[in-house]
């Protein structure tokens, strides 16, 4: 059988890993029959997108389908600050500040939702201190308003922006953090 189902579309991106916007559809099974588990062909409009594997989906259950990369939304992440400072006369420590700018630009004709994820480094060594500076969060809160949506700080140092982007709009996000450690400690991967 062939069914046409309405979908809610959203984008997600982790620009630190890949400067791409991935389109995802959230779909509800509005038919009277379950979708049995197995391979399914996915079409977006009349265009074939690819195949996916579906678990059994009962009527009224929602499921997600990945529709691949959309070049209509461009994302760029660039380092704009890398600053070193030394503290103390006798027990010298190094304090490095890092700042990144994430630019999201829509070339689409529709307003869309996008989830952008980045992270602060996490220290496993008590001698190394990491402090998040931007985005700012109110004390004891893990979320804050953003002009285009909301920004949340989750476990493991992750930061998520849940945004609405208008047609032809460009949004800039910033993430800044400092890392302080003893001068004799070597740190890689910042």
86 SS3 class? strand
The 10 Å CB-count burial string (b at 16+, else e) for 11-32 is bbbbbeeebbbbbbbebebeee
12 SS3 class? strand
Q: Averaged over 1-7, what is the pLDDT?
A: 81
When comparing pLDDT for 186 and 128, which is higher?
128
Distance CA 125, CA 180 (A): 11
Residue 4: its pLDDT value, please? 82
Backbone angles phi, psi at 107, to 5 degrees: -110, 20
157 SS3 class? helix
Residue 141: its pLDDT value, please? 65
Band the pLDDT of 186: cuts 50, 70, 90.
confident
Distance CA 84, CA 104 (A): 29
Residue 63: its pLDDT value, please? 93
- 111-156 pLDDT, tens per residue? 999 999 999 888 888 889 988 888 877 666 677 888 888 899 888 8
- 85-123 pLDDT, tens per residue? 666 556 688 888 999 999 999 999 999 999 999 998 888
Burial of 132 (0-12, 13-18, 19+ CB in 10 A): middle
47 pLDDT higher than 70: yes
Distance CA 28, CA 36 (A): 14
Distance CA 86, CA 181 (A): 10
Distance CA 75, CA 72 (A): 10
Distance CA 62, CA 131 (A): 39
Beta bridge partners of 62: 28
Residue 40: its pLDDT value, please? 86
Q: Averaged over 78-82, what is the pLDDT?
A: 86
């Amino acid at each position: 059988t062939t069914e046409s189902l309405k979908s809610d579309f959203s984008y997600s991106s982790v620009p630190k890993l890949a400067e791409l916007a991935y389109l995802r559809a959230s779909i509800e099974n509005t038919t009277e029959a379950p979708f049995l588990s197995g391979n399914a062909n996915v079409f977006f409009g009349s265009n074939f997108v690819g195949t996916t594997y579906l678990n059994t989906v009962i009527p009224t259950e929602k499921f997600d389908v990945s529709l691949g990369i959309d070049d209509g939304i461009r994302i760029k992440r660039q380092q704009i600050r890398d600053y070193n400072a030394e503290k103390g006369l006798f027990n010298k420590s190094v304090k490095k500040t890092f700042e990144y700018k994430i630019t999201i630009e829509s070339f689409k004709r529709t307003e869309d939702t996008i989830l952008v994820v980045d992270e602060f480094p996490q220290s496993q060594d008590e001698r190394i201190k990491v402090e998040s500076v931007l985005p700012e969060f109110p004390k004891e809160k893990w979320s804050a308003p953003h002009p285009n949506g909301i920004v949340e700080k989750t476990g493991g140092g992750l930061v998520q922006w849940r945004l609405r982007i208008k047609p032809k709009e460009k949004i800039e996000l910033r993430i800044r953090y400092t890392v302080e450690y003893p001068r004799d400690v070597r740190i890689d991967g910042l």
